[in-house]
Structure 1
Amino acid sequence: MKRVARDSEASARRVTRRALLLGGGMAAMFAALGYRMRYLGVEQADEFRLLAEENRINMRLIPPTRGVIHDRNGKVLAGNEQNYRVVMTREDAGDVETVLNRLSHVIPLTRSDIADALDGLEKNSPFVPITVKDRLDWEEFSRVALNAPALPGVTPETGMSRVYPRDTDFAHVIGYVGPVSEKDFEGVENPDPVLRIPKFQIGKIGVEKWLEDTLRGEAGTKRIEVNHIGRVMREIDRIEGTPGADVHLTVDAGVQNFIQARMGEESAACVMIDVTNGDVIAAVSSPSFDPNLFVRGISNSDFRFLMDHDHRPMANKAVQGAYPPGSTFKMVTALAALEDGAITPETTFRCPGYYDAGGRKFHCWRRGGHGPVNLERSLMESCDVFYYETALKVGIDKIAEMGRRLGLGQRHDLPMSAITEGNMPDKAWKLERHKAEWRIGDTINASIGQGYVLTSPLQLAVMTARIASGKAIKPRLVRAIDGQEVPVEPAESIGISTSNLTAVQGGMVAVMNGKSGTARSSRIVAEGLQMAGKTGTAQVRNISAAERAAGVISNDQLPWNRRDHALFVGYGPAENPRYAVAVVVEHGGGGSTAAAPIARDALLRAIYGAVPPLEAYPSDQRGRMESLLNGLVLRGDDGRLPPASDT
């Protein structure tokens, strides 16, 4: 019995200890649970209330700020401006049509705006925000923000939009940006994710396109929290992107604007190159267009106007246009023959007004002929027969070789769109292209820049710079990227003897300053600033024998599109060349009357760094030039045109 009592006592003690341990554990557990409940229910109440409302965390890309494009002097050619916009996210909006209908009562939305928004929402992932409307004013932006609770999935945002402060002046050089299209993804294996942002804009033509990777930068990211109706509750964190690199070009905004204004309504092009290093100082194509229209969304009527205009404002004639160079090509024929030894500067041919090649007459522009002509006079008075004779002595292959040495028949590497190679034909080219043998008539036509020969204003400017310098000048358009100068490779000798270059240069000086020079009326009289040049006229129609016998119809009696192209190439100052220039005026008639005056004024603007002084012009022209120069509407340093009352 005593043993039973002892066992009962021990058992009771064990039960008591277990009860105490169990009770203590339960008390500790309830204490921890209570603390956790207090933490969740009091300290984290706001956080869990948001979660209870079905909030979500979204990751969004932050478009990078596009790099700014400047001219050589730091003037802005393409910049960015603040843009207020409204975006919508499909997964947060619910019934998107209902939300868009509500939004249309807050800000003006056209049927096209709504249709574009619906299309974008349908094509893109539910979590990708699409731009419904941009370029809102502050009042519209504020109304959207105030009505946000009634507009699930709709968010007002601020961003940057591209702007071109000098609009028409650099449209063909800079180009413009536009929304990414499916065509932009062709051939791209791993496209930048930022390109998937609806209505994200990239370069479409010109520098904007060819330096896209440099200008775009890298996108940033942000994490935002939205509630169950799609309203943004807060931004959790943000990682800023990397802005695009700023680019400085070689062009001079003042010179470009002056030439653009000087050309007026002509369908024309002008390229100016620094002879010392190949910098493109100006590349003008007229008429131009406003690239801001494309950034903002060009209307059908505006686009139709640009496409239907007979002067082709959308075409970049400076680098894309391919024209017969006419008599501006005569220096190529002359240098080929001089280098080959086929002629010397003293070689003389008699010009009776035509050249008879096996019974076929090839006429000189002067019906009665020039009589005995040597090299200098042939350039000064632009005698055609001298070059017919010269070309047949040297042959087309050597002429073509010289043309290529001077920069013709090749695509120059610049960040611009649709740069043409032109055409520098030879015997092999015709056989391959036309399956036909080269003929004497082909050589005669090519000798004066007609027939199969095609050149662009850019190529003609390069040719002129090489003749002026004796070096293989290469054009360049980019001067610096993010403050780092782009190195200039020293130009090598062009490989033409100094005496032969001097002979041709002398003929070009005579063109401008000789008593019978074809461009004498466009000479510069300021001391030390004489220029050298060559006029050209390129036929765009055939002249029949009957018309020639009766008298060739003058250009001003023909419809505009049947008139000859007017060309001019030149450089200055002649004694110490700094700038080379080429001008083409489509259907302008004679190069001496339509193209040379523009080139002369452009050279003076570059040399003086301001509107040319009247003292640079012949005295009998100063009254007319004063009226012309005062009538030009030029931009200020800020890129703005003067008020209408001041013009």
Structure 2
Amino acid sequence: MKRNPKELDGSHRILTRRTLVLGGLQMGFVGALAMRMRFLQVEQADQFRLLAEENRINIRLIAPSRGEIFDRNGLIVAQNTPSYRIVLVPEDAGDVEQVIANLARLITIDEEDLERARTEMRRSPPFLPITLADQISWSDISKVAVNAPALPGITPEVGLTRVYPLQDDFAHVVGYVGPVSDYDLSRMEDPEPILRIPRFQIGKVGLEAKREDALRGKAGAKRVEVNAMGRVMRELDRREGEAGADTQLTLDAELQSYVQARLGTESAAAVVMDVENGDLRAICSSPSFDPNLFVRGISVGDYRGLTEDPYRPLANKTVQGTYPPGSTFKMVTALAGLENGVIGPEETVWCPGHLEVSGRRFHCWKRAGHGHVNLLESLKGSCDVYFYDLAIKVGIDRISEMANKLGLGIRHDLPMSAVAEGLAPDRAWKSRVHGQDWLVGDTVNASIGQGFMLASPLQLAVMSARIASGRSVTPRLVKSVDGVEEASGAGAPLEINDIHLRNVRKAMFAVSNDRRGTGYRSRIIAEGMRMAGKTGTSQVRNITAAERAAGVIRNEDLPWDRRDHALFVCFAPYENPKYAVSVVVEHGGGGSTAAAPIARDVMLQALYGGTPPLDAYPTSDRDKVKAQQERLERERLKRRETSGNDQA
């Protein structure tokens, strides 16, 4: 059927319009595409070139050199030494197990290290190097280098590792480093990327951990070119990191070594403190351990030996251990009484050997009693009844306040692990912690450093230094960081009447120099060096009525862990105090027999800056002391020789 001309013209016009619209849309799309291509290729060229470069170039961290640690005289305590290691690139080795077997014929490979390396291989790309053996000798490196053709994929490398040349002398103070663990990372909110470098070492305990940020330094970086598989092709540039800060301690390594040796095999602690500025000259816990064992991961056997030792070598008894201070606390009770006007230095108390309090009999250590005693006589003979009576008059709150003023019950801010606060309880403390009222019997026990009262050897040294100096001296362990001196611990004058302090010092002098003093057998006789001190014995068990009636069992007849702790605190010279010393011997028995001789020897070593002359000792002690000095010197030389051989 034919269409008329008008219909044909209409259809033609419709098709023409559609063609124009479609053509316009096509032209618009092509134009927009062209503009977008120009934008990407011309205006955004630099950005895409940078992205391409980033896909080709990787930034890799360079571990910084860790800050070293020195004693006050510049002797190295913790250092970085070259560490030779053997690494394996699995993809270059071919038959990995065969290469490892060939290597094992040349050098000794620890089985634990080998298992750790296999674990790393399973979870790492085959082109990344894996450490097979670490801290090996130069002779082993030479063997590997000579046999290189038979060891494809094996490469000897050199790096830095931490070494503690003085071994156990500074173990509890400096601590040790070790590889970063998953546990370490879990304790950090935003771990630094450097901590993810394989086997990167951080401080685990002690100063190494407490000053980690300063000792670690800042990482460097290098730009390396990698291929599409991530394999390094070449190094483009390098920016070295910033080494950690070197740290100088207040400790004297020679004195520290002597004190550690003098404590011997005892479970004990000793602190030597400068009474003028608070510098710790020695702070030793015995027995100790070799921190080098922990640097690359201690063996199961070695660790079990340390943890199962009843003398607890891993515990830092100087700051972590808290003990009833026993009679060394009596100066606190005396000063509380004097300061509050409760008693004068010449007033006396009758000691028949016990005191009845609320229907209970509190005994003096001397069963027959001391008779009439004043302040000086009560401290000289360590009369318990005098202080029972005085404490009831003063009250526990005033005693606790004086203890705090002298540094007890206070956590001292030192960069060491687990620094204890100790305990100088008062009424509010018992109500808060135990939900009970304070009893008069609690005050009686506290007056002689028993009951709830607890103090660390560090705190006892601080107490002695404050009594000696009359200042609120605080302990200082770090002398300087990168040559910048740390703040002194000299402190402000104590708000204690100087006359009262002199009376207490005079009584402490009598303890060590009067024939009836409990510390007389451990006196110093050199002129200008005489010592003032106080013995202490703290019970770790209650003596039953049946035992007392039958005659108390001798301390030395009890099992070791049920014997009394032995304590001694002192300062010298008496006329012009320089050092304060505290010694605690766990389960050592009497303070006069176990702790005082150690404190006397340590004090003389500090005062003379080395081995003291025999004429500083009483004539009766000189043969014994001479033999002891010779033995300790032989042991120290042997330890140094062993240490030198280990480092070689």
Q: Calculate the TM-score normalised by the size of structure 1.
A: 0.86
Cα distance per residue 1:324-366 (max 9 Å; x no partner): 0000000011111111111111121000000011221000000
Which residue of structure 2 aligns with residue 629 of structure 1? 629
Which residue of structure 1 aligns with residue 158 of structure 2? 158
- What is the SS of the residue equivalent to 2:632? coil
| Pair 1:520-2:520 in alignment | yes
Which residue of structure 1 aligns with residue 20 of structure 2? none
Deviates more, 1:115-124 or 1:479-488: 115-124
Deviation of 1:98 (Å): 6.5
Deviates more, 1:131-140 or 1:280-289: 131-140
Contact 2:166-2:643 within 8 A present in 1 as well: no
Which residue of structure 1 aligns with residue 424 of structure 2? 424
1:206 counterpart letter in structure 2:
G
2:219 counterpart letter in structure 1:
A
Contact 1:130-1:197 within 8 A present in 2 as well: no
Which residue of structure 2 aligns with residue 31 of structure 1? none
Which residue of structure 1 aligns with residue 536 of structure 2? 536
Q: Distance in 2 between matches of 1:392 and 1:184?
A: 50
Cα distance per residue 1:516-569 (max 9 Å; x no partner): 000001111000111110000000111011111221111111111111000000
| Pair 1:507-2:507 in alignment | yes
1:495 counterpart letter in structure 2:
E
Q: Distance in 2 between matches of 1:191 and 1:229?
A: 27
Deviation of 1:640 (Å): 4.5
| Pair 1:202-2:202 in alignment | yes
Contact 1:131-1:199 within 8 A present in 2 as well: no
Q: Distance in 2 between matches of 1:107 and 1:226?
A: 33
1:280 counterpart letter in structure 2:
L
Question: How has the CA–CA distance of structure 1 residues 573 and 140 changed in structure 2, closer, same or farther, with 3 Å as cutoff?
Answer: same
Question: How has the CA–CA distance of structure 1 residues 410 and 186 changed in structure 2, closer, same or farther, with 3 Å as cutoff?
Answer: farther
Q: 1:475-490 alignment to 2 at 5 Å?
A: 475-488=475-488, 490=490
1:216 counterpart letter in structure 2:
R
Contact 2:471-2:490 within 8 A present in 1 as well: no
Which residue of structure 1 aligns with residue 453 of structure 2? 453
Contact 1:58-1:224 within 8 A present in 2 as well: yes
Cα distance per residue 1:258-288 (max 9 Å; x no partner): 1111111111000111000000111100011
- What is the SS of the residue equivalent to 2:162? strand
2:341 counterpart letter in structure 1:
G
Which residue of structure 2 aligns with residue 373 of structure 1? 373
Cα distance per residue 1:72-118 (max 9 Å; x no partner): 01111111211111234567778766665565456443443232012
- What is the SS of the residue equivalent to 1:109? coil
Q: Distance in 2 between matches of 1:613 and 1:105?
A: 57
- What is the SS of the residue equivalent to 2:454? coil
Which residue of structure 2 aligns with residue 182 of structure 1? 182
Which residue of structure 2 aligns with residue 168 of structure 1? 168
1:592 counterpart letter in structure 2:
S
Q: What is the RMSD of the two structures over their aligned residues, measured on CA atoms?
A: 2.7
Identity of aligned residues (%): 59
Q: 1:306-345 alignment to 2 at 5 Å?
A: 306-345=306-345
Cα distance per residue 1:291-316 (max 9 Å; x no partner): 11111432222111111111111110
Deviates more, 1:197-206 or 1:452-461: 197-206
Deviation of 1:236 (Å): 4.5
Deviates more, 1:118-127 or 1:526-535: 118-127
Question: How has the CA–CA distance of structure 1 residues 322 and 578 changed in structure 2, closer, same or farther, with 3 Å as cutoff?
Answer: same
Which residue of structure 1 aligns with residue 494 of structure 2? 494
Which residue of structure 2 aligns with residue 41 of structure 1? none
- What is the SS of the residue equivalent to 1:407? coil
Contact 1:270-1:457 within 8 A present in 2 as well: yes
Q: Distance in 1 between matches of 2:358 and 2:574?
A: 41
Q: Distance in 2 between matches of 1:637 and 1:404?
A: 43
Contact 2:326-2:536 within 8 A present in 1 as well: yes
Which residue of structure 2 aligns with residue 67 of structure 1? 67
Q: Distance in 1 between matches of 2:70 and 2:644?
A: 24
Deviates more, 1:402-411 or 1:145-154: 145-154
Q: Distance in 2 between matches of 1:237 and 1:495?
A: 63
Which residue of structure 2 aligns with residue 390 of structure 1? 390
| Pair 1:471-2:432 in alignment | no
- What is the SS of the residue equivalent to 2:432? helix
- What is the SS of the residue equivalent to 1:569? strand
Deviation of 1:596 (Å): 0.6
Q: Distance in 1 between matches of 2:336 and 2:418?
A: 29
Q: Distance in 2 between matches of 1:129 and 1:500?
A: 70
Deviation of 1:597 (Å): 0.7
Deviates more, 1:78-87 or 1:455-464: 78-87
Deviation of 1:157 (Å): 1.4
Structure 1, unpaired ranges of 5+: 1-55
2:133 counterpart letter in structure 1:
K
| Pair 1:82-2:86 in alignment | no
2:480 counterpart letter in structure 1:
A
Contact 2:167-2:643 within 8 A present in 1 as well: no
Contact 1:422-1:456 within 8 A present in 2 as well: yes
Q: Distance in 1 between matches of 2:118 and 2:437?
A: 61
Q: 1:32-43 alignment to 2 at 5 Å?
A: none
- What is the SS of the residue equivalent to 1:425? coil
Deviation of 1:220 (Å): 2.4
Contact 1:93-1:229 within 8 A present in 2 as well: no
Contact 2:165-2:643 within 8 A present in 1 as well: no
Q: Distance in 2 between matches of 1:491 and 1:343?
A: 29
Which residue of structure 2 aligns with residue 3 of structure 1? none
Deviation of 1:643 (Å): 10
Q: Distance in 2 between matches of 1:224 and 1:153?
A: 20
Question: How has the CA–CA distance of structure 1 residues 110 and 493 changed in structure 2, closer, same or farther, with 3 Å as cutoff?
Answer: closer
Number of residue pairs the alignment of both structures matches: 590
Q: 1:564-579 alignment to 2 at 5 Å?
A: 564-579=564-579
Deviation of 1:635 (Å): 3.8
Deviation of 1:59 (Å): 4.9
Question: How has the CA–CA distance of structure 1 residues 127 and 298 changed in structure 2, closer, same or farther, with 3 Å as cutoff?
Answer: same
Contact 2:323-2:454 within 8 A present in 1 as well: yes
Q: Distance in 2 between matches of 1:501 and 1:641?
A: 47
Which residue of structure 2 aligns with residue 220 of structure 1? 220
Which residue of structure 2 aligns with residue 593 of structure 1? 593
Deviation of 1:210 (Å): 0.6
